[in-house]
Chain A
Amino acid sequence: MGMTLISAGRRPARAAGRAGASYRRRDKYIRFALPALLVVAAVIVFPWLYTLFMSVQEWQVGSDRVFVGLDNYANLLRDTRFHAAVGRTLAYTVLAVALPVLLGTIAAVFFHRDFPWRGFFRGIFVLPMMATPVAIALVWTMMFHPQLGVLNYLLSLVGLPPSLWVYAPNTVIPALVLVETWQWTPLVMLIVLGGLAAMPTEPLESAVVDGAGPWRVFRDITLPLTLPFIMVAVVLRAIDALKAFDTIFAITQGGPGTASETINIYLYLQAFSFFRIGHASAVVVVFFLLIVALAVGLLLVRQRTKWA
């Protein structure tokens, strides 16, 4: 068996039992995935092993590497700058999940109807999601400018006072969430739109026959039936919001001060500005566990929405 692993083109051996044949064939189909598994091992598994190893070493590039056990993790527990970064990341995530999911669901209901040029308009709607994040970040940086930016001009048109946007510690996180919401609402829209398309039509029709208004139909039928898809959107959004890097880094680099330093930005600075490899590796491990915990938690919630 081991020899033939390489030659995926072999014909299936004529086996005596049907069960045996299908078992062997299943085995052979796995071979199609072998090259991919090799790549995964090289580019994904190797970094993980290296990171786990480094997270128990004290090593700053240029100095000697020393085994320190769990010291890096213990230091993280005491590091108030890291704690603040975790808090900011969670706040950012809550906002950057809630807003796109709310707006994306509304947009999906809108695009679910049939109207002329629907595909074209949907194409325009999804543009933010496909645009290069760094390029977008650049445009938003200019729009956020407190004196010359177009956003404060727009606020003045509707009689609102100007904001300092990303230039003040207390508004920087909401302003960054605005960019994230602008960019990723389309992804939620597409996922929920898929859910609406897969929805059975009978309950809807019978409700309309029973004389239910559009809001009642949405609340009692559309929403419960698409809830599993909305939960998928919530899980994906949560993972992406926790990992958000490009726009935050390009717009503020964690500033002003450390007011927008999320875990990812903190990690970048520790690893590639201060070159504290051991410390940064411990951050990676803790960060990943946080993402997994949140994703698993949300998936459990999703299971419950399926039963409801």
Chain B
Amino acid sequence: MGVATSALPRRQTVPSALRWRRLGSRLGFLLGLIVLLSPALFVFLWMLSLSLKPDVENTAFPPVFIPTSPTLGNFREVFATSPFALYARNSFVVATAATLLSLLVGVPAGYGIAKAKAHGLAFVVLVSRMTPGLSYLIPWFMLFRALGLHNTLWALIITHLVIGLPITIWVMMGFFEDLHPELEEAALVDGAGIWAAFRDVAMPLARPGMVVAAILAFIFSWNNFIFAVVLAGPDTRTLPVAVFNVLTFEQLAWGKLAAAALVVTLPVLLLTVFVQRQIVAGMTTGGMKG
């Protein structure tokens, strides 16, 4: 409350007691902001700091917060000692393909469920939200082995549909329910089929929803660890699995560890900052995560 008023131009006539109170509430606000943001900022800045320092500084005590001689050596080492570029490519291919397939199948499904008011089908989405990812893995592991798919990116793309599809259906359902039906009705009266009404009228209007669904599906697919750790072979590893392997093999090479972690998560963090509005919209309506 005090903050909104503090933006107004100051008047000399304001009694000094009130001015002090305003100053106090402004300081309180700044303090609150610092308290709320510092945990997030501290961890990410510490990760950045570790990744830019040689290990002598990283394991010094008391800790060195600001690198005295920043170096990119840790990043070079990550890419030199393991095929990180290949893992990055795998991650990108899997997340992109899974997102596109989720949209292809999930957008019409969201429309159908919203139009037919088939909320029983939405229940399926909820159940998939409750099922632990691990419980799919035993059958998939056996199935992909039987089909000879267990060392291919296809195995990962198919399994990542379990992440992207529920998000897409959930978000799109909400968007299509909020859409005014008059425009489609007009198209139907003009003799268009329901498929044409969907493709030419409803879908273009729901483009913002598709952006939200695509962003969330991509991020949660990119971040997924559990499916790839079981199903990926040496050549089909995704970045989270690769970074986990760095952890288990190099306990005290902190600079390299932090550099690897940063490479994995930086694309997602940048995406989040740039499209935070869409992410906020998607998460508040759906509350979904992979």
Contact = CB atoms under 8 A, between A and B. Distances in A.
Interface string B104-115: 111011011101
A36 B276 contact: no
A90 interface: no
B171 interface: no
16 contacts: A8-B195, A36-B108, A39-B165, A114-B3, A119-B276, A124-B40, A126-B276, A135-B47, A142-B257, A190-B287, A191-B284, A191-B287, A193-B284, A242-B132, A245-B132, A245-B226
Given A113-B1, A115-B3, A125-B36, A29 B130 contact: no
Interface string A148-164: 10100100000000000
Nearest to B59: A148
Interface residues of A, number: 92
Given A47-B135, A115-B3, A32 B268 contact: no
A86 interface: no
Interface in A16-50: 25-33, 35-37, 39-40, 43-44, 46-47, 50
A264 B193 contact: no
Given A132-B222, A284-B134, 7 more contacts: A12-B193, A32-B113, A47-B140, A130-B279, A139-B46, A142-B254, A243-B132
B284 A268 contact: no
A8 B230 CA distance: 38
Given A28-B194, A33-B113, A123-B272, A44 B136 contact: yes
A276 B162 CA distance: 24
A35 B109 contact: yes
Interface of A: 8-12, 25-33, 35-37, 39-40, 43-44, 46-47, 50-51, 54, 107, 110, 113-116, 119-136, 138-143, 147-148, 150, 153, 182, 187, 190-191, 193-194, 214, 232-233, 236, 239-240, 242-243, 245-246, 249-250, 264, 267-268, 271-272, 277, 280-281, 284, 287-288, 291-292, 295
B108 to A, nearest CB: 4
A242 B129 CA distance: 12
A174 to B, nearest CB: 16
A128 B130 contact: no
Contact of A239 (B1, B106, B129, B254): B129
Contacts of A138: 243-244, 246-247, 257-258, 260-261
Contacts of A139: 43, 46-47, 50, 258, 261
Given A33-B121, A35-B105, A128-B40, A46 B50 contact: no
Contacts of A107: 36
Contacts of B265: 131-132, 135-136
A291 B130 contact: yes
Closest 5 CB pairs of A and B: A32-B112, A123-B276, A36-B109, A194-B284, A135-B261
Task: Decide if the interface of chain A is mainly helix, strand, loop or mixed.
Answer: helix
B247 A250 contact: yes
B131 A44 contact: yes
Interface residues of B, number: 102
A243 to B, nearest CB: 5
Given A51-B135, A142-B50, A130 B269 contact: yes
Contacts of B287: 187, 190-191, 232-233, 236
Contacts of A291: 130-132
A177 to B, nearest CB: 14
Interface string B263-279: 01100110111001101
B286 to A, nearest CB: 10
A140 B226 contact: no
B139 interface: yes
A29 B112 CA distance: 5
B18 interface: no
Nearest to B124: A40
B7 to A, nearest CB: 8
Nearest to B32: A110
B158 interface: yes
A43 B109 CA distance: 16
B75 interface: no
